[in-house]
Amino acid sequence: MRSLCSKLFRLAKDDISTWTLVGRYNRRVKSLVLFGGYATFFCSAMWALYYLNRGDWPHLAINLLSALIGITILVLAYGNHLRSAAIIMCHALFFVVVLASLSDIPVGSVPRSVHLNLLPVIAATFLIFHREGTYLRIVLPVVGVLLFLSLALNIMPLLSSDLAAPIEGRFVGVWINHITGVVGASVVIAMMQANMNARSALESDMRFGIARGEYYFHYQPQVDINGRIFGVEALIRWQHPTKGRVSPLEFIPLAEETGLIIPIGEWGLRTACAQLAEWERSERMNHLTISVNVSATQFRQPDFAQEVKNIISLSGATPSKLKLELTETTLADDIDVVIKKMNALREIGVTWSLDDFGTGFSSLNLLKRLPLDQLKIDKSFIGDLLTDKRSLSIVNTILNLSQNLNLAVIAEGVENEKQLMALNSIGCSQYQGYLFSHPLPISELNDLIQGRAVSKIAL
């Protein structure tokens, strides 16, 4: 139970970096969630005091519930649990606003107005979840719009007049609800516009970055059981002329969406092959392989296989030294086409690795059909190896499966000796992680390999 709680806490704590983009967009999301939390709490608290003074218990309960939601949102947001806070904010506020709107029965010249508070919630949902799945990105906002329209057009069935909000507070409430609804929606729209402007600026900078050669690789060593570096993984970095180093978490998703990942990916393949060709002239480094991540967008290009062949041919690199890493997302396409492309490159010696294995949904039948050479155990399993027996069982199962399928296995994210010993005890003999080395610039990597080897692993 303790390990489960620590795991959940760690996942929640990482929420701000693994869910939303880093940088300005991430701060805007946090500001938006905080704005929603404070607005919900203070407005609900004021109405709760009003209904408490009147002894109106049903409406007091609704506003106390809303105030509690506001506090929950603020606690989660200040703890950087943004995704949890955002999901609670959007779902709970939809529920509470609709519940309060049911008692907001039009009386004489006093119209319905509580439903106006749905406007900022709908707009916030569009902004926050635009990268999420179908439900959060489409279904939830559409439901919010339908609820707003049904309330605005008085299609929603009315409750008994006995549950209607008191007429004395309704006159002031109309003004307050108009203010909170319009101001809230305006704040969200301003943030959406700022996000669009920042996105456009970043996209423009990325295009210039390709032309100016601002991208470069850091290489993380891959080590065998004897402490020998047999290969590296190439990890892209971007040095912006004014912003400094830009995190891949910030620019890679946008590159995928805009198609810029294609020229960036081509640059990455050319750079990796050129490096392989250079290493082959050195006796101490000509055994090294380079693993390069291939995005789903890049792999889907009809001429992808031929492009890789051309790059290898022009560079003079040995094809067997190039290892292309796919994620399980890529396998969601037409599997026959995927296999055809993989085989076309495998015929000339290029090897294939399935990255983050165990976190996706590929079936065993699919795994059997793919012309793979290596499985890469996701670091999430390695991080829990010592505290969660299920992670150890999963890793052990992957090792047995790979052995039966004649596939190599490498564990990524190895950070300490205990993890290394546990992996070694169940038969894993290839590793990658901070225990051995952080990703290094090419000059430091060359010094590491030529000057000193990674310390020999004690068996």
Q: Rounded to whole angstroms, how far apart are CA atoms 174 and 166?
A: 12
CB 36 within 8 A of CB 73: yes
* pLDDT band with cut points at 50, 70 and 90 for residue 12: very low
Looking at every residue in the chain, the average pLDDT score rounds to 83
How far is it, in rounded angstroms, from Cα 221 to Cα 224? 10
Q: How far apart are CA 295 and CA 260, in angstroms?
A: 11
Structure-block tokens of residue 409: 């296995």
8: left (phi over 0), alpha (psi -120 to 50) or beta: alpha
Environment class of residue 223 by beta-carbon count within 10 Å: exposed (0-12), middle (13-18) or buried (19+)?
A: buried
Residues 91-104: tens digit of each pLDDT: 988 888 888 887 77
Range in 71-75, 198-202, 326-330 the model is least confident about: 326-330
Q: Read off φ and ψ for residue 385, nearest 5 degrees.
A: -60, -35
Residue-level pLDDT at 229: 92
User: Tokens 């032309």 sit at which residue?
Assistant: 211
Provide the H-helix boundaries in 132-233.
134, 140-152, 167-212
Tell me the three state secondary structure of residue 220.
strand
**Position of tokens 């390709």?**
210
Which pLDDT band, with edges at 50, 70 and 90, does 25 fall under?
low
Q: What average pLDDT does this structure show over 269-282?
A: 94
Segments of 125-193 assigned E as strands: none
Work out the number of other CB atoms within 10 angstroms of the CB of residue 425: 11
pLDDT band at 63 (very low <50, low <70, confident <90, very high): confident
Query: Residue 17: what pLDDT?
Result: 41
